Structure 1
Amino acid sequence: MGYTSRSYSILLLCILFLSFLKSFSQEKKTIEAVRIEEPPRIDGILDDPVWQSLPAYGNFFMYEPGNEGMIPEGYASEVKMAYDDKAVYVAAYLYDPQPDRILSQFSQRDEVFVQADYFSVALNTYNDGINETRFYVTSAGTIGDAIRGQNNFDFSYNVVFECKISKDDKGWYAEFKIPYNALRFPEVAVQDWSVNFYRRLVRENQTHTWNFIKNSVGQETQYNGLVTGVRDINPPVRLTFFPFAQGVITNFDGDTDANLSAGMDVKYGLSDSFTLDATLIPDFGQASFDEVRLNLGPFEQTFGENRQFFTEGTDLFNIGRIFFSRRVGSGPTGDVGTLDDTEIVENYPGKVNLLNALKISGRTKDKLGIGFFNAVTEKTYATIRDTAAGTTRDVLVEPLSNYNIVVLDQQFNGNSSVSLINTNVTREGHFRDGNTSAFVFDVADKDNNFRSSGRAIVSNVNNFDGTKTGFLSELDIFRIKGKFRYRIGHDFSNSTYDINDLGLNFENNFNNFVAGASYQIFEPTQWFNNYRFELTARHRRRYRPDVEIGNTLNLNTFFVLKSRFAFGGNISYFSKDDDYFEPRVPGRFVAFGASLGGNVFVSSDYRKKFAYDINFGYRSYFDTESRQNTFFDIEPRYRFSDKFLMILSSEFSFREKDFGYVDNTETEIFFGQRERVNIENSIQASYNFDPYKAVDLRFRNFWSTADYTEDVFFTLNEDGTLTNADYDISENDPNANFNIWNLDLSFRWRFAPGSEATLLYRNQIFNFDSQSTLGYGESLRNLFDQPQQNTLSLRITYFVDYNNVRGLLNKDS
């Protein structure tokens, strides 16, 4: 029997209705923030009268592992939102049909991705689809905060806010107070804000969001719901102080030193949108130790930033990647000059003291981000001793230096931005100065089908021999929508590009091309929650002379089962590679043979008390049968309880028949064949008394050898090949035995919002010699024969809000 016209009409109406429902479900929700007179008490118990009077907003959507599916029965979530002239308040009702099974691992501030559920508020006070401030709390009461930007997620951002939780037989609850000194927003009568709320259920391996996020299109920041009702805010003065005092006792090789220091960090709201951060007389004595390694390569060894002032709120200054904060206060840039025959360098300082630093940043109502950074370092001297006369003299190796950054970042369309950045380093007197300017863009179409990003950078270095100007450009075009995606790109630099006064670049003089494609699922299948394949091809060339350097082809894979067991790996082919940096002589290169290799890894379910990560890799070179690299990493972890977690890690690396630079004379460049072994063992352990107090252990031992005892040496030919040669190691022995030991044991106590006390014991031992044939045990015994440095330090930081002090003074008066 055929369909009648009435049947067709009904069918058409059903289709239209379903389409309407689908489009309706993806529209942005709206939540009304209600102005209140009496703020709630922040204790996690949502029995305050204000919460009883406000409307609740629920009906969360599935976000991970996929958008499809309904929220399981019993896991409903509801939120309420209020504000006054001091803060924004949020209440979250997080129901759970089995509250006794909620995972609740304890951790400390910002450690929110542990085996505990979490709830987060993603607040965008500009409603620009890009910038969010996220406030987290876990089901164990740990709080965290982060800045989410266009291409970054920065947990080094820290502000002072309050959040407490409670639990009962229906689930758990969270209560937030977010002061305005933790936010930046335009000075307008009616605020245009947006928000989303995230609920992570670790036990169920799911994430729910209040407003729907289509996980295969665009960025999640573009899917926030709207906030209405926020108007006529009269926020208090945004002025906070973080004074600190620190005492340090150090013992090294029988000598004991004691030192007391004090300083202060200041945050001042220049307006509702702009904030000044300053550090006065800083002391970074409790920054984490650097993971130093044996460096046999042609480039300097660099480390991540551990100083809080240079990691917190620096998202604007990191645009364009021309700011490397470790340059500020790093080693001196000068040298001691020519020495007499009887003179030696008795002391050459490893770092330069920072006198003060400040940064100003914010964003206007027209979405223009503005940033200014300044730091000043003091004069630094090396000590020269005349061994014959017994006298000493000081040589200036780093003058008074000024570091500046200016940033302008215009965002638009909720997914795009263009930026201008300038960095400048001015050193007093006849020392090197540097200036770098960059134009950066990241632009996507409105429907998030394609994105194009790039940067153009001009560097200028003023040295004794005049000014040197360099240029770098990058351009990438991406398809960013759907399961199948691809990219093409081009990178260029001339031979005089140099940003190393306040930035970091290892290589220049290149003209490279890249193309890639990927396939990824966004909805779980019968077996997998997610999997991804990515193929990338690179063609590398020199700019001058225009010659091919090498080509690479790389395939990456990643799979996650529904049981949360992950595995994957990569396989890559490297063609013959002409390395122009390893010889350490301009214009010369060494040819490394083609190779094939890869790695495989597995990662088990962290929800279980015992879990592990294992990684195995291998690479074989075609130029010689015996040259190969092998590495193996294993990282078991055990969660003894919700309070105590220990992670062990061992990494083994073996390079057989490796070769590299040894020495050069005016006429010859020497290379040597070596056997290289790296073994690194580390321990991370944390006992958390509660979300405010913890004892942490961090230990690392790194051992590395470079063994040239087979006495196989070469001279480098003009065509990059090597010829066997004799080399006398009596004056320059390349054999290396490197062993370093670091141990940090600390007690952290966050005794009040924004206030913290840290007691740290640090033990360090280091040894470097030429006994490359020693085994690991023998090298470790020799390490303990070296003098040890033992340091005990106590640092106390206290948070002071100007408004609280003013209130107390007014009461007293």
Structure 2
Amino acid sequence: MHKILYCCVFLFSILGYSQKKVLQTKFISDNINIDGKIDENIWKSAPIATDFIMFQPDNGKPIPENKRTEIKVLYDNDAIYVAALMYDNEPKKILKEITQRDNNGTSDLFGVFINGFNDGQQDFQFYVSASDGQADCIVTDSNGEDYSWDAVWKSKAVITDFGWVVEMRIPYAALRFSSENKQKWGLNFFREIKRDKHKYTWNFIDSKLGTFTQQTGVLEGIENIKTPTRLFLLPYSSFYVNASKGQKTYGTLKRGLDIKYGINDAFTLDMILIPDFGQTKYDDKILNLGPFEQQFNENRPFFTEGTDLFSKGNLLYSRRIGGSPTNYPTASSTETIIDNPATVNLINALKISGRTKDGLGIGILNAVTEKTYATIQNNNTGEIRKEVVEPYANYNVVVLDQRFHKNSSVSFINTNVTRNGSFRDANVSALVWDLNTTKNTYNLSGNLKYSYINDTEDKKGLFYSLNFGETSGKYRYSFGTEVVSKDFNSNDLGINFETNYYSFYGNTNYRILNSTKYFNSFNVNLNMYSQFQKETGKIQGNNINFNINASNKKNHSFGLSMNAIPIESFDYYESRTANRYLIFPKKIGTNIYFSSNYNNKFAVDVSTSYAKLSESGRNSRGFSLGPRYRFNDKFSLVYNFNFFRINNNKGFVDSIDEDQNAETPNAIIFANRNVLTYSNTLSGKYSLNSKMTFNIALRQYWSYAENKNFLSLEQNGRLADYMNYTQNKNSSFYSWNADLSYSWWFAPGSQVSVLYRNNAANFERDINKDFGKNVTNLLTNDQLKHVFSISVRYFIDYNSAKNIF
């Protein structure tokens, strides 16, 4: 009988929560102290949001009574206030690891999701952990979570004898909404009980649907708010000491200012004047033997915060701004290049972004970089001359994104790079669409891009794609196509590796929506891809991939993937020569991984891979091991070792002219080589509290390619022995990075950062296989550089400063 009763309650819960819940809020004139006590009288009369329901793993299951959650919301002319009581019948078991901002760690979690336009397109999410930590992000269904966005808000979490409590104050400056007198916001609340890995929401999130942001409840009652001026200043001062062996130690003092200004309630202006990115994370450089550049993560806050609009169309690779110069200096046989800057300095940058009440999103990004010179010396006279390798340049992005029906959008994007003088200019435009049916069961997406390069020879190119898929239920699928012309080029402000092809792809997958006897999650995917050279129709790439990913009832995760290249393909890129291709053999490979439950003090990640190609003796294998240990709520360490070996790899090393009258290289030299890569990383943190954290990050990397014999690329795409090449084209690259930092958020939005780092890197043609000596030499030679820095950033709210003065 009790099973029947439970099924009835379960069914009733699903039916009830399929409707949008509504929470009423109240205006207040009294002050609320954000202390986690919730003892002000005004809280007693506030309406309550309760009856949470599980999102994962048992989608639709009501929260147990002994874990019930009660939420209240109030507001004034400056902010909204949230009070959350989270009951737990075993409060001593609440996990509460202390971590730095935006890293929730192993801790129970409470979140507030707000959409000021109630259009189902974008959530501003604010999280508080049981250890009193903060995290915030912007979420869209298309781009997922963007934790690089940071807002300034207050919160306090307190563990009690009945569970734990959270109190929050979220200023309107951290949100976007219309200017209407009566506001109607999308609203949801989130709770994660970490020890069980159970996630609950106030308004039911149906996992059968392929959308998250459109399944929020509603907040009503905010009326006639008089929002204050949104003007924030972030002045900073940084001091650097640089030292390296054999070079003079010097100190540098930098000052600058960031400005955030609310043009209105929906649009915000962000500016950086005299930027300082000296404390950003180092790039994890690798030995790159392929035909394309290595793509790096963006670590500069200005270019990562709130850039969801600018990611439309995948036309912006912000590392181009202030990246490498676009020209290489020319030197005669009697000259030597003694200084060629690796990067270009950024002068200033600004962003304007927001959305109207009718759903039109507008984004403008502009940046200016300075004129950059290389220094060249005459070997005979000693005379020094300067040559421009990058002129003054203006980078500009404009995005217009129209949302409609709460789940669809059409966007126009334009990127433009204008360089002063006769240097190369570039312009790329795109039309992007993402269309969903009313019930979010099917999706039609695609884009049309056009590029125009103004250089010594003007070039125009096209890129278009179309994708259709079913996006709901246990069984889902998608298929699509891409066509890219030969001269399409978005690389002045974007990044695009392959052109001159058309492709077809498809995917089908199955997932469980609720936990089973053995699994909390389980999904199976099958992907297929084929790419053809546009002019010849030759198959340029093909791949079939099958993978399984799952987590069991003990919250251990594991997976298996198998991939195959069933047909020989024609690689038009590895030769580095137009219209020449390498025939790539058939291939089959597998990968297995296991990740134990991070809730345990000791956890480990293990993976292994193996692949075999259709050529004799050509294969690859890899292994990684990542143990982690949480000593207590303050201190934890994570180590990771990676090894990868490729046997009898065939790769480009050189092109030479055997015939001096030939217009193109008539000998393209490849090497048959073994490639080995080792890397070791160690990261750790010691958190004094949720505002003060010590961090350590170490990375040692070594990769080498040892050539066994040389080959020439024949006209038919095959490789033949080549005995006349005698140059040493072995490659050995090793690097070391070490960061030790202290961070203190001494006031909302204000931070002191102290950083010591040392790093070194070296590339050699001679390979020393003594691992220990390689590391020792790197740490003791002239390449090792030391930097000590202190940075202070102070957040100033114009309204608070105005009241003081």
TM-score (norm 2): 0.96
2:291 is matched with 298
Distance (whole Å) between structure 1 residues aligned to residue 277 and residue 216 of structure 2: 38
CA drift of 1:716 comes to 0.5
User: Is the contact between residue 45 and residue 165 of structure 1 (CA under 8 Å) also seen in structure 2?
Assistant: no
For residue 777 of structure 2, what is the aligned residue in structure 1? Answer: 782
Residue aligned with 1:319, SS? helix
Tell me the secondary structure at the aligned position of residue 205 of structure 2: coil
CA distance in 2, matches of 1:23, 1:158: 36
What pairs up with 1:298-317 in 2 under 5 angstroms? 298-317=291-310
After superposition, where does 1:47-196 map in structure 2 within 5 Å? 47-112=39-104, 114-152=105-143, 153-196=145-188
2:44 aligns to what SS in structure 1?
A: helix
Instruction: Return closer, same or farther for 1:539/1:31 CA change in 2, 3 Å cut-off.
Output: same
The CA deviation string for residues 312-334 of structure 1, in whole angstroms up to 9 with x for no partner, is 01111111100000000001112
Q: Which residue is 1:767 aligned to?
A: 762
User: In the alignment, is the contact (CA less than 8 A) between 2:413 and 2:431 conserved in 1?
Assistant: yes
Letter in 2 for 1:721: R
**Deviation readout 1:285-336 (Å, 9 max, x if unpaired):** 0000000011111111220000000000111111110000000000111222
CA contact (8 A) 2:550 2:558 kept: yes
The 2-side partners of 1:278 and 1:581 are apart by: 40
- Distance change in 2, residues 1:566/1:17 (3 Å): closer
Match of 1:520 among 505, 508, 511: 511
Match of 2:493 among 487, 498, 502: 502
Other-structure match for 1:719: 716
Q: How big is the shift at 1:56? A: 1.8
State the Cα deviation string for residues 560-579 of structure 1 (Å, max 9, x = none). Answer: 10100111121011131211
Which of residues 544, 547, 557 in structure 2 aligns to 1:566? Answer: 557
Deviations 1:135-189 (A, max 9, x none): 0000000001100113121100111000111121011000110011111111111
1:683–1:700 Cα contact (<8 Å) kept: yes
SS of 1:795's equivalent?
A: strand
User: 1:19, CA displacement in angstroms?
Assistant: 8.0
Q: For 2:756 and 2:768, locate their aligned partners in 1 and report how far apart those are by CA, in whole Å.
A: 33
> What CA distance in whole angstroms lies between the structure 1 residues aligned with 2:38 and 2:8?
42
Deviation readout 1:499-528 (Å, 9 max, x if unpaired): 011000011011100011101001111010
Counterparts of residues 449-488 of structure 1 (less than 5 Å) = 449-465=441-457, 467-488=458-479
CA distance in 1, matches of 2:439, 2:427: 38
Q: Offset of 1:16 from its aligned partner?
A: 12
Q: Which runs of 5+ in 2 are unaligned?
A: 1-6, 657-664
Q: Superposed, which structure 2 residues align to 1:589-604 within 5 Å?
A: 589-604=581-596
C-alpha change, 1:24 and 1:72, in structure 2 (3 Å) is closer
Spell out the pairing of 1:583-594 with structure 2 (5 A cutoff). 583-594=575-586
| Distance in 2 separating the partners of 1:169 and 1:523 | 32
Partner amino acid for 1:37? S
Q: Which moved more, 1:374-383 or 1:775-784?
A: 775-784
Q: Is 2:287 the counterpart of 1:323? A: no
Quickly say closer, same or farther: Cα 1:757–1:537, change in 2 above 3 A. Answer: same
Q: Tell me whether 1:752 sits opposite 2:747 in the alignment.
A: yes
Whole-angstrom CA distance in 2 between matches of 1:537 and 1:221: 29
- Cα separation, 2, equivalents of 1:200 and 1:550: 43
Give the residue type in structure 2 aligned to 1:116: S
CA deviations 1:618-667 (Å, max 9, x no partner) are 0001122x111000011100000000110000000011111100110132
After superposition, where does 1:586-735 map in structure 2 within 5 Å? 586-624=578-616, 626-665=617-656, 666-708=665-707, 710=708, 712-730=709-727, 733-735=728-730
Distance 2:159 2:45 in 1: 21
Comparing 210-219 with 22-31, greater Cα deviation is found at 22-31
Moved more, 782-791 or 422-431: 782-791
Displacement after TM superposition at 1:51 (Å):
1.2
- Distance, in Å, in 2 between the alignment partners of 1:512 and 1:55 is 55
**In structure 1, the residue corresponding to 2:559 is in which secondary structure?**
strand
Contact 1:707 1:773 in 2 (8 A): no
Deviations 1:20-69 (CA, angstroms, capped at 9, x unpaired): 87533321111011000113101111111221232222111111112243
The match for 1:7 is none
Out of 227, 232, 235, the position equivalent to 1:235 is 227
Conserved 8 A contact 1:165-1:172: yes
The separation in 2 between residues aligned to 1:613 and 1:253, in whole angstroms, is 38
Which secondary structure state, in structure 1, belongs to the residue aligned with residue 289 of structure 2? coil
Question: Residue 526 of structure 1 aligns to which amino acid in structure 2?
Answer: K
Native 8 Å contact 1:767 1:786 kept in 2: no
- Alpha-carbon distance, 1:539 to partner: 1.4
**What amino acid does structure 1 have at the position aligned with 2:326?**
T
Structure 1 outlier segments of 4+, above 6 Å: 15-21
Once the two structures are overlaid, the 10-residue window that deviates more, 390-399 or 211-220, is 211-220
Decide whether the 8 Å contact of 1:66 with 1:215 is kept in 2: no
Whether the 8 Å CA contact 1:542–1:548 is kept in 2: the answer is yes
Shift of 1:773: 4.9
Superposition deviation, residue 282 in structure 1: 0.2
Asked if 1:266 is matched to 2:259, the reply is: yes
2:502 to 503, 506, 511: 511
CA distance in 2, matches of 1:23, 1:796: 53
- Write the mapping of 1:18-57 to structure 2, written as runs, cut at 5 A: 22-57=14-49
Residues of 1 paired with 2:797 and 2:695: CA distance? 29
Q: How far did residue 18 of structure 1 move?
A: 10
Residue equivalent to 1:345: 337
Alignment partner of 1:536 out of 510, 527, 541 = 527
Deviation of the 1:257 alpha carbon: 1.7
Name 2:216's counterpart in structure 1.
224
1:74 partner SS: helix
Contact 1:275–1:360 (CA under 8 A) maintained in structure 2: yes
Query: Does structure 2 retain, via aligned residues, the 8 Å contact 1:322–1:502?
Result: yes
Provide the alpha-carbon RMSD of the alignment: 1.4
Question: C-alpha distance in 2, partners of 1:206/1:550?
Answer: 42
Structure 2: how far apart are the matches of 1:319 and 1:541? Answer: 26
The answer for unaligned runs of 5 or more in structure 1 is: 1-14
Q: 1: distance between equivalents of 2:742 and 2:13?
A: 54
Residue 796 of structure 1 aligns with which residue?
A: 792
Q: CA deviation at 1:552?
A: 1.3
1-structure distance, mates of 2:689, 2:179: 39
Q: Is the 8 A contact 1:766 1:786 kept in 2?
A: no
The reply on whether 1:282 has 2:275 as its aligned counterpart is: yes
Counterpart CA distance in 2 for 1:220 and 1:572 is 31
Q: Does the 8 Å contact 1:384/1:392 carry over to 2?
A: yes
Partners of 1:470 and 1:496 within 8 A in 2: yes
Aligned to 1:256: 249
Aligned-partner SS, 1:523: coil
**Residue 226 of structure 1: how far off its partner (Å):** 1.0
User: Aligned pair 1:211/2:203, yes or no?
Assistant: yes
Counterpart in 2 of 1:6?
none
Shift of 1:17: 12
Distance in 1 between residues matched to 2:557 and 2:9, nearest whole Å: 40
Residue 701 of structure 1 aligns to which amino acid in structure 2? Q
2:4 corresponds in structure 1 to none
For residues 19 and 175 of structure 2, the distance between their equivalents in structure 1, rounded to whole angstroms, comes to: 26
Q: Matched residues in 1 for 2:124 and 2:399: separation?
A: 20
Report if aligned partners of 1:334, 1:431 keep a CA contact under 8 Å in 2: no
Which residue type is aligned with residue 804 of structure 1?
S
